[in-house]
């Protein structure tokens, strides 16, 4: 039963003592008997040394994965640079283009385009640039990382198309700040 303290009265002191509490507890639980001491039993076999089984499985799966998966050539950037100099043009022209000594005037991004759409987009873009005297342009074709075994499809398309155009004087892979091997800087002949 709970008692409520009234603000005008003095606090009620608990009449039970610690000895009284202990006696009430013993009466409530009844008679107790101690548990017998457990006999110390020796293990029948010695425990095995711990083995890092999960770590060994992880190492084996990495090894197997390296042996079974083909190398993704699109992810390797070393040696992926492309360049071209039209016959009869001075080599210094390509050097200047590589060094970024020409101002890029226009740009097109071919990401997410199919080969057919990209082919037509490049043709129209270059024709428009020549009409407007924008003779140094950038074509962003991407590195082809999602092309898997086919290699960089749009990059190969761009390389082939530019080499066949009579109005392309030179082209080279862009500098790292301009897209690296995922873009090409093109120098067009004036109209």
pLDDT in tens, 127-176: 999 999 999 999 998 887 666 666 788 888 999 999 999 999 999 999 88
- Phi first, then psi: give them for residue 33, nearest 5 degrees: -130, 140
What is the pLDDT, as a whole number, of residue 134? Answer: 93
Q: Domain containing 160: what range?
A: 73-188
Q: In the chain, how long is the greatest CA-to-CA distance?
A: 115
How far apart are the C-alpha atoms of 34 and 11, rounded to whole Å? 42
How far apart are the C-alpha atoms of 78 and 135, rounded to whole Å? 29
* DSSP helix/strand/coil, 149: helix
Domain presence at residue 7? no
Domain presence at residue 103? yes
139 touches 184 (CB < 8 A): yes
What is the pLDDT, as a whole number, of residue 5? Answer: 47
What is the pLDDT, as a whole number, of residue 12? Answer: 46
Domain presence at residue 14? no
What's 174's domain CATH number?
Answer: 3.30.1370.110
**Token digits of residue 143:** 């590195």
Domain presence at residue 17? no
Alpha carbon of residue 50 to chain centroid:
36
**Token digits of residue 100:** 């970024």
What is the pLDDT, as a whole number, of residue 127? Answer: 94
Domain presence at residue 85? yes
Say what the pTM is.
0.57
Domain presence at residue 53? no
Per-residue pLDDT of the chain (191 residues; tens, 9 = 90+): 445 544 444 444 555 688 898 889 888 988 888 888 888 777 678 888 888 888 888 888 877 776 665 544 434 444 588 999 999 999 999 999 999 999 999 999 998 888 999 999 999 999 999 999 999 999 998 887 666 666 788 888 999 999 999 999 999 999 888 888 889 999 999 86
Q: How far is CA 136 from CA 79, 84, 89, 125, 155, in A?
A: 24, 14, 16, 12, 18
Domain count, the chain: 1
Domain presence at residue 118? yes
130 touches 191 (CB < 8 A): yes
Alpha carbon of residue 41 to chain centroid:
56
How far apart are the C-alpha atoms of 65 and 140, rounded to whole Å? 33
How far apart are the C-alpha atoms of 98 and 101, rounded to whole Å? 8
162 touches 186 (CB < 8 A): yes
Domain presence at residue 138? yes
Place of tokens 């080279």: 172
């Amino acid at each position: 039963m709970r008692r409520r303290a009234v603000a005008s009265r003095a606090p009620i002191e608990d009449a039970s003592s610690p000895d009284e509490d202990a006696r009430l507890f013993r009466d409530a639980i009844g008679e107790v008997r101690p548990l017998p001491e457990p006999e110390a039993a020796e293990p029948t076999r010695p425990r095995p040394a711990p083995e890092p089984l999960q770590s060994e499985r992880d190492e084996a799966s990495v090894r197997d994965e390296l042996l079974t998966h083909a190398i993704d050539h699109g992810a390797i950037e070393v040696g992926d640079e492309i360049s071209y100099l039209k016959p009869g043009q001075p080599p210094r022209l390509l050097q200047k283009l590589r060094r970024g000594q020409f101002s890029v005037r226009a740009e097109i991004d071919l990401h997410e385009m199919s080969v057919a759409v990209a082919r037509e987009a490049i043709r129209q873009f270059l024709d428009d640039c020549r009409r407007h005297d924008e003779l140094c342009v950038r074509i962003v074709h991407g590195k082809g990382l999602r092309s898997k075994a086919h290699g960089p499809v749009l990059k190969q398309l761009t390389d082939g198309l530019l080499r066949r155009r009579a109005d392309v004087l030179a082209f080279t892979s862009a500098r790292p700040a301009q897209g690296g091997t995922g873009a090409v800087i093109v120098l067009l002949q004036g109209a």
